[in-house]
Amino acid sequence: MTVGHVGMKHPSLAGMVDAISVPMTREAMHSRFTPQAEAFLGTCLQYALKRSVNETQPIKTALLDPFKRVLIFDSSSWEVDPHLADVLPGSGGDASAANCKLQVGYEYKHGELGFFKIDPGTRPDNAYTAQLPSFLQADDLALFDQGYFKLETLSQIAHKGAFFLTRFLVKTTLRKPETSDSIDLENILYRLREDTYQIQVIMGGRKGLPEVNCRLICLRVNEKAANERRRKLLKEAHKKGRTPNNTHLALCDWTLLVTNVSETNLPVEMAWWLYSLRWQIELLFKQLKSVLAIHRSQTRKISAA
């Protein structure tokens, strides 16, 4: 019933009551949404999504051959009715009082939906990143954005014999593997005339943080893209009452990726192409909103008897 009537422009209890043949009030319908019913509907939704996604044909390309699976992790959030703030709180203030976030894992090579999880919009992606290694096996590749960047997570992925490709978090300490000396990335890239650069680095390893041995790949972007990044960085910093440091502003000229995949299996010129597969999950989010209308809700408080 729930999935079958997602075509309703404004999903509501009244709409659900009208969609069935059994006489029922909105209050009676509401009382049937118990924790058990919620779990059942969640299982049904996951089953339906997996069946739909799994109908796609496996992706075959030489670039992906070194990896058993390619898992893309991402999230999408949207505002919901303020009456849902108790279960799906938002940030409040200028932001919404209630916000829903969907965490998704999508296996790209075989078109399989690994998992999805609903969280309050106030929970950042970084709070979920510790769970990512549990979905990986040896020779898997994980693709995720900077929001999931955490040295502990990257270390655990590597320890499992799996691989990662993600954006570099600028504030992370970089050291040379040979001498353990600090790397002044801003100065190196400032002097560089080429549009690509790579270097083996150690991330972390101090102040109780794990060491992560990996490759840092630097790809120069055009001036328009760099200026747009700086504009967004300044706007976000102003919103939070902060001032971005000069290093962060300077590094907007580059796309910085870190990976533990060898250069043999991932040449520099293919790094961005592989990372851009992450946008495939955005198509899944678009389908969930346009077909299942998961971002629309109509909620009304029901007075106690």
Question: Could you give the CA distance from residue 158 to residue 132 in angstroms, rounded to a whole number?
Answer: 12
Query: Predicted confidence band at 298 (pLDDT cuts at 50, 70, 90)?
Result: low
% of residues, the chain, pLDDT over 70: 83
Query: Predicted confidence band at 94 (pLDDT cuts at 50, 70, 90)?
Result: low
Q: How far is CA 229 from the centre of its chain?
A: 19
Q: Are strands 174-175 and 196-204 parallel, antiparallel or unpaired?
A: antiparallel
Q: 63-72, 78-87, 157-166, 191-200 — which is least confidently predicted?
A: 78-87
Whether residue 66 is predicted with pLDDT greater than 80 in this model: the reply is: yes
What does the pLDDT read at residue 291?
67
Handedness of CA 163, 168, 171, 177 (dihedral sign): positive
- Specify which residues 200 forms β-bridges with: 215
What does the pLDDT read at residue 4?
47
Closest CA to 247 of 190, 176, 166, 181: 190
When pLDDT is averaged across residues 193-222 and rounded to a whole number, the result is 94
Write the pLDDT tens digit of every residue in 103-113: 989 999 888 87
What does the pLDDT read at residue 59?
67
% of residues, the chain, pLDDT over 90: 48
Q: Which CATH class, in words, describes the domain spanning 57-166+268-305?
A: alpha beta
Write the pLDDT tens digit of every residue in 241-263: 888 889 999 999 999 999 999 99
- Which residue, chain included where needed, has tokens 């670039």? 63
What does the pLDDT read at residue 301?
47
What does the pLDDT read at residue 256?
98
In the chain, domain spans: 57-166+268-305, 168-266
Write the pLDDT tens digit of every residue in 121-171: 888 888 889 999 999 999 999 999 999 999 999 999 999 999 999 999 999
Closest CA to 166 of 183, 184, 185, 141: 141
Query: Predicted confidence band at 11 (pLDDT cuts at 50, 70, 90)?
Result: low
Higher-pLDDT residue of 90, 302: 90
> Cα-atom radius of gyration of the chain, to the nearest Å?
23
What does the pLDDT read at residue 57?
56
Write the pLDDT tens digit of every residue in 271-284: 999 999 988 888 77
What does the pLDDT read at residue 12?
65
| Tokens (6 digits) for 132 | 């990512």
| Tokens (6 digits) for 201 | 């680095």
**HEC states along the chain?**
CCCCCCCCCCCCHHHHHHHCCCCCCHHHHHHCCCHHHHHHHHHHHHHHHHHHHCCCCCCCCHHHCCCCCEEEEEEEEEECCHHHCCCCECCCCCCCCEEEEEEEEEECCCCEEEEEEEEECCCCHHHCHHHHHHHCCCCCEEEECHHHCCHHHHHHHHHCCCEEEEECCCCCCEECCCCCCECCHHHHHHHCCCCEEEEEEEEECCCCCCEEEEEEEEEECCHHHHHHHHHHHHHHHHHCCCCCCHHHHHHHHEEEEEECCCCCCCCHHHHHHHHHHHHHHHHHHHHHHHCCCCCCCCCCCCCCC
